[in-house]
Amino acid sequence: MSDTGPGRAPDVALVLVTHSATLARGCAEVAEQMAPDVRILAVGGNPDGGIGTDTEAVRAALVQVIAEGLGAVVLTDLGSAVMAAELAVELLAPEAAARVRVVDGPFVEGAVAAAVAAQIGAALDEVAEVARGLAAVAPPPDGPANPPPDGPAVHSAAVTLRNPLGLHARPAAVLARMVAGFDAEVRVNGVNAASMLELMKLGASGGRELTVTATGPAAEQAVGAVVAAISAGFGEA
């Protein structure tokens, strides 16, 4: 991940392809609210404005964002929108097609998570992974996973959320990405801390005490890093 300093615009755009123009626009609005600097194009409906998909419109949107120097992650609502998106990519020149990822994942959640990842400076494949990966994130089991009897110890610490807005999208993305860098399984209040979405679902607001637990070779370091980030208020406090 590259650090987005002030003034540096995200270099991954999202193209939302749906059967309804309203659906694409509405999802873009939600994602834009969480990631105001990310370019998000909504391509919904058939050419007559009815329900359907328009491959040519998808192709045109991709050409546009690529001409702006961006990579594009395409998210779709239903099966035939995936087909339209894949065909649109097939129509691009190879060097342009290389800068597009079509993702078949959860539409709204994937778009929001991908937008936030792009906002914080994730590269094309990382944004695609975020959009796609959520589909594979299973709901956490009840409470922290039990370590094997002879496995490494569980490291644990309590920490209070300092920033007023708590674990909203950006801090959740920061934590999820941080956790992914450690060889450890980390949980915050029982949910998988590698999943931005699971962290957001905690609905943890400022002032709340969180329990961070981790197992694995780097468990201690992971807990330390997560506690430090939360204690620092994600730079928002």
Partner 1 sequence: MTVVLDVDWAIAWVRLTAVEVAARRDELVELDRQIGDGDHGENLDRGFRAVVARLDALEEPPTTVGEVLRLVATTVMSTVGGAAGALYGTAYLSASRVTAVPVLDSSGTVGLLEAALDGVVRRGKARVGEKTMVDAWSPAVEAARRAAGRAGLRPAELLVVAAEAAEAGAVATDPLMATKGRASYLGERSRGHRDPGAVSSALIVRAAASAAGVG
Contact window for partner 1 (CB under 8 A) among 84-92, 104-112, 172-180, 183-191: 84-92
| Alpha-carbon span 154 to 235, nearest angstrom | 28
Q: Which neighbouring-strand residues pair with 123?
A: none
Does 103 help bind partner 1 (rule: CB under 8 A)? no
The residue assigned the tokens 């873009």 is 28
- The answer to whether 27 touches 105, Cβ cutoff 8 Å, is no
Determine, following the binding rule CB under 8 A, whether residue 86 of this chain makes contact with partner 1: yes
Task: Supply the minimum distance, in Å, between the C-beta of residue 89 and partner 1.
Answer: 11
189 touching partner 1, by CB under 8 A:
no
Q: Which of 2, 33, 80, 231 binds partner 1 (CB under 8 A)?
A: 80
Q: Considering only CA atoms, which of 112, 114, 149 is closest in space to residue 130?
A: 114
Nearer to partner 1, 45 or 133 (CB): 45
Q: Is 154 left (phi over 0), alpha (psi -120 to 50) or beta?
A: beta
Asked if 91 interacts with partner 1 (CB under 8 A), we say yes
Tell whether residue 209 is a contact of partner 1 (CB under 8 A).
no
Bridge partners (DSSP) listed for residue 16: 42, 75
Angle in degrees, CA 84, 88, 91, rounded to 5? 140
- Residue 43 bridge partners (DSSP): 17
Smallest gap from Cβ 175 to partner 1, in A, equals 36
Query: Is residue 160 a contact residue for partner 1 (CB under 8 A)?
Result: no
If you search the block for the tokens 């087909």, which residue do you land on? 83
Active-site residue, 155 included: no
Query: Which part of the chain contacts partner 1 (CB under 8 A), choosing from 46-54, 157-165, 176-184, 217-225?
Result: 46-54
Give the integer Cα–Cα distance in Å for 193 and 211. 11
Among 102, 112, 156, 161, CA closest to 134? 112
Q: Is residue 76 at the binding interface for partner 1, with CB under 8 A as the rule?
A: no
Q: Choose the binding region for partner 1 from 53-61, 130-138, 140-148, 201-209 (rule: CB under 8 A).
A: 53-61
Which is closer to partner 1, CB of 86 or CB of 220?
86
The answer to the question of residue 52 lying near partner 1 (CB under 8 A) is: yes
Catalytic residue (one of 101, 168, 177, 187):
168
Give me the DSSP letters along 155-199: EEEEEE--STT-S-HHHHHHHHHHHHTSSSEEEETTEETT-HHHH
Q: Nearest distance from residue 56's CB to partner 1, in Å?
A: 4
Write out the catalytic residue numbers: 168
Residues lying near partner 1 in the complex (CB under 8 A) are found at: 46-47, 52-57, 79-80, 83-84, 86-87, 90-91
